[in-house]
Amino acid sequence: MTLDEAYSVCKSIARQSGTSFYYGLQLLPVVKRRSMYAVYAWSRLCDDAVDEFSGEEAMSQLNRIQEVLERALADDYEQQTDAIVYALGDSIRRFQLPIAPFYGLLEGMRMDIQPQIYRTFDELKEYLKRVAGTIGEMCIGIFGIREGDASEMAVDMGIALQLTNILRDLKEDVERGRIYLPQEDFERFGYSMGDLKALRHTPAFIELMSFQVSRAYQFYHRVRPLFSMVEPDSLRCMRVLYMVYFNLLKRIEEDGYNVLARRIRISTPRKLWLVGETLWRPKMV
């Protein structure tokens, strides 16, 4: 298998996922784009392990995915026949990516195998740092920073996007036995976890969701300085990713937090419109 073939496999994985990430990645120069495909493909393995398996089988899957990472880190990665191993190994070396975020993501995914209750937002944030902040660190390692230390903002960017995902996927997660919203917030607004499991869309639920959306907006606001730090050839991509998820959060708010009835989405035409707008207006407003 050639390196080009390995990256092509990773690209197919990203394209077939249909996620917003794929649209944004088209705005990167080819070398950065290919490495983002590799990182995405490996991260997708982690997601699929906890979404498609449970218990010991999920743990076994994550152990195998850790082996994929370690084969990518090995000196003989170029002799591997696994496309993700080969492409990821090349990407890690090409961009000198820190290794800790990869292991951090695995740790976060292992936390998902045994769903837990997060009593406070501080507890939830520790989980978010592992499953999403680590992705932010990987992305920034490829996007490139012109000056300064952007690692904290990269983590916050990942948290902003993941908080948006949690609010969008509330119904789906509850049906899987996962509740990510902090217990202290349920108590604050007089809405119980039993209410959520029964999918009750009440005034208390609206207050709870409004609070969560406001918190997510704070993270989006906090990372805006990152746009002046990222390398120019990565700016449009990062802006599209930001705007797609920011617009999704707005849709949730404008739709009356009706996430228990249906999955709120940004349509493909809207995503393409955001890409087009970014081509003409590359700076944040």
- Per residue of the chain (285 residues), give pLDDT as tens: 899 999 999 999 999 976 667 878 989 999 999 999 999 999 999 999 998 999 999 999 999 999 999 999 999 999 989 999 999 999 999 999 999 999 999 999 999 998 789 999 999 999 999 999 999 999 999 999 977 778 999 999 999 999 999 999 999 999 989 999 999 999 999 999 999 999 999 999 999 999 999 999 999 999 999 999 999 999 999 998 898 899 999 999 999 999 999 888 877 777 777 667 766 665 554
CATH tag, 1-100: 1.10.600.10
Check residue 86 and give its pLDDT: 97
Q: In DSSP terms, which residues pair with 230 in a beta bridge?
A: 145
What residue spans define the domains of the chain?
1-100, 115-285
- Check residue 268 and give its pLDDT: 73
How would CATH label the architecture of 115-285? Orthogonal Bundle (1.10)
Regarding pTM above 0.85, the answer is yes
Residues 68 and 82 sit within 8 Å (Cβ to Cβ): yes
| pLDDT of res. 18 | 66
Dihedrals phi, psi of 117, to nearest 5 degrees: -95, 130
Alpha helices by DSSP H, listed for the chain, are: 3-17, 20-25, 30-52, 55-73, 83-94, 100-113, 121-128, 134-143, 151-168, 170-175, 183-189, 193-197, 203-222, 232-254, 268-280
- Is it true that 1-100 and 115-285 share their CATH fold? yes
